[in-house]
Structure 1
Amino acid sequence: MIVNCVIVEPMKIPQARWGGIAALTLAATSLAACGSDSAADADVSAVAAFYPLQFVTEQVGGEHVAVTNLTAAGAEPHDLELAPLQVAEITDADLVVYLPGFQPAVDQAVEQQAPDAGFDVTTATQLRESGDEHDHGDHDGHDHDHGDLDPHVWLDPTKYADIAIAVGDKLSELDPDHADDYAANAQAMADRLDELDQSYQTGLAECDTRDIVTSHAAFGYLADRYDLHEVAVTGLSPDTTPTPEAFQQVTDYVTEHGVTTIFYETLVSPSVAETIAQETGAQTAVLDPLEGLSPDSDGDYFSIMETNLSTLVTALGCT
């Protein structure tokens, strides 16, 4: 297969949130395929919609696959708008790994430009509805996008492992000469994810509280898997502004249940979490939903998930 070389010009990503900046202009560099021998030698060209899908495709594809991420570091993936040359990348790719409903611009581009190359990761594992009891109980009473499917499936390591195996199968179809490598890489990642799952099971087995109060409802899969109870100020979209009623209901919940920590995210303003903390005397801490990496991050999925576990153990009083 031929890896197509596309130069990506500087692009404007509206509404990206980083350090309080409402709009961030990011200059995307040339694809690795244009200047890297390893990418030029790749057997499959793949485009990933955002970081978790980039990471799993890179881990499973290894040296045989050149992967381009459509969402720049520091940009909130929900807000992605594609530049024309990014649409060209999708059109020319052998494989486009995406999650329908999370980024409408990507959905549209795949449907119109690359229906045969598109790989919908939700075919590998069942998504949950956002209104599950672990996500937000009846007590909070505010809008949580009930009935919508929660896209943050990678926060359950067992479901992410299902995606890894499915990506391996898809790559094997595209490049059967290296099917054994893809299968081995996928199984190796699944094994690491099983170890991560066991660490979470052990670390969160005995805790003083199982309530996690978050700025938006990104942690439903994690809560479901590890018997936690997420109380989210807003629903699935981090762009939603909480109503005064919702804010007061969560503040009351924090006070009544003795919640000591309010969690905020790396790519979203901490202002809501900080205000609730000030009102209640609680502390704030980062719980990363891993929708994307911050520009200065030197971690990856596994290291960030391990940091999340350490944060939860401390905040929830786990022993």
Structure 2
Amino acid sequence: MMSGFSRLGALGLLTAGALFSATACGDGSGVSEVGATSDGKPEVVAAFYPLQWLTEQVGGSDVQVTGLTAPGVEPHDLELGIQQVTDLQKAALTVYVKGVQPAVDDAVDQEKSFDAGTAVTTIPAGGHEGEGEEEHGHDEVGYDPHIWLDPSRMATVAGKLGERLAAADAAHAQAYRDRAATTAATLTALDQEFSKGLATCRSRTLVTAHEAFGYLADRYKLKQVGITLDPETEPSPARLSEVAKVARAEGVTTIFTEALVSPKVAEVLANQVGARTAVLDPLESKPSGDYVSAMRDNLKTLRAALGCTA
């Protein structure tokens, strides 16, 4: 939950920031003085890691990218301090996904933000009754916000982000479009790796710590069964019993855990059904490598767990 300071303080700072922005003069480049560094580069804030990676790829050396969520921080629980709210107000553009971080949803300036979720076809939140949906905003937006776990959707977002940056900084418009096309091609190739690697598997059921992998499952014809909807909610005994029943019926051999979430519940479930555990990274925080290498690590983990042979 966001603290009283985060919500009320953010609103006060946003009001002051709006007044400052209204008096700032443009320099003819499409970026206001408030949203540019001293050398004229647009300042872009990315809400959490996958969006930061994408923005850095598309923006290149023409922008200054700031990540709002520090490595190792669970982004769903982000609370905004004074400096973070200031960064949001100064930015020429904020890149986020509505429904992931309520604090960011409340604080962004809609006229200077890009909601990546609006760039793609979304799927409904898969949750189960009473398991934290309202707490993290999924119920409010009405869809699963974890779009970055499908490389093909990320490719689409890359193109839309390139257009948004081109509109904000006309002097470098073609460079943004070119980098967006290159990034989209990289993501399309990654998508093809996943399609081939997950084409022929003994099992197609993912039992995950929380329901972050709906888009991956949707894209590659897998079935996601989440222990909880969000990473901070304890599952009810009834939910654990339901997931255990599915795991036994479908011969699940691996229960997937996450680096930023305690594995204890997943380990208990794995012991109950005679399975092992393995880490499947939802990429909500910066991995040891980058987005592409982390997704490839996920593919290796999935192939081993699901018994894929192609």
User: What TM-score does the superposition give when structure 1 sets the normalisation length?
Assistant: 0.80
Pairs within 5 Å for 1:100-249: 100-110=98-108, 114-131=109-126, 143=131, 145=133, 148-235=142-229, 237-249=230-242
1:282-303 deviation line (CA, Å, top 9, x unaligned): 110011111112xxx4301000
**Structure 2, gaps ≥5 residues long:** 7-36
- Superposition pairs for residues 1-319 of structure 1, below 5 Å? 41=39, 43-110=41-108, 114-131=109-126, 143=131, 145=133, 148-235=142-229, 237-293=230-286, 297-319=287-309
Change (3 A) 1:42 1:291: farther
Amino acid paired to 2:308: C
- 2:131–2:233 Cα contact (<8 Å) kept: no
CA RMSD of aligned residues (A): 2.0
Mapped to 2, the partners of 1:144 and 1:214 lie a distance apart of: 16
Q: In the TM superposition, what is the alpha-carbon distance from 1:40 to its structure 2 partner?
A: 5.4
Distance 2:110 2:251 in 1: 50
Maintained 8 Å contact 1:124/1:166:
yes
Q: Cα gap change, 1:93/1:129 in structure 2, threshold over 3 Å: closer, same or farther?
A: same
- Give, in whole Å, the separation in 2 of the partners of 1:55 and 1:69: 9
How far off is 1:98 after superposition? 1.3
Structure 1 residue ranges (4+ consecutive) displaced by more than 3 angstroms after TM superposition: 39-42, 140-148
Cα distance in 1 for residues equivalent to 2:218 and 2:40: 38
Say which structure is richer in helix: 2
Q: Conserved in 1, the CA contact under 8 Å of 2:45 and 2:91?
A: yes
Q: Percent identity?
A: 50
Unaligned segments of structure 1, at least 5 residues: 1-11, 14-38
One-letter amino acid matched to 2:54: V
**In the TM superposition, what is the alpha-carbon distance from 1:142 to its structure 2 partner?**
7.8
User: Given the two structures, how large is their TM-score scaled by the length of structure 2?
Assistant: 0.82
SS at match of 2:200: coil
In 2, Cα distance between the equivalents of 1:151 and 1:49?
Answer: 13
Whichever residue aligns with residue 263 of structure 2, its letter is P
| Alpha-carbon distance in structure 2 between the residues aligned to 1:157 and 1:312 | 15
Q: What is the alpha-carbon distance in structure 2 between the residues aligned to residue 227 and residue 115 of structure 1?
A: 35
Post-superposition Cα deviations, 1:210-243, rounded to whole Å, max 9, x if no partner, equal 01101111100000000001111111x2111100
The SS at the match of 2:87 is: helix
Distance (Å, rounded) in 2 between the aligned partners of 1:115 and 1:154:
21
Letter in structure 2 aligned against 1:57: T
Contact 1:144 1:217 survives alignment (8 Å): no
Determine the C-alpha separation between the residues in 1 that align with 2:130 and 2:200: 30
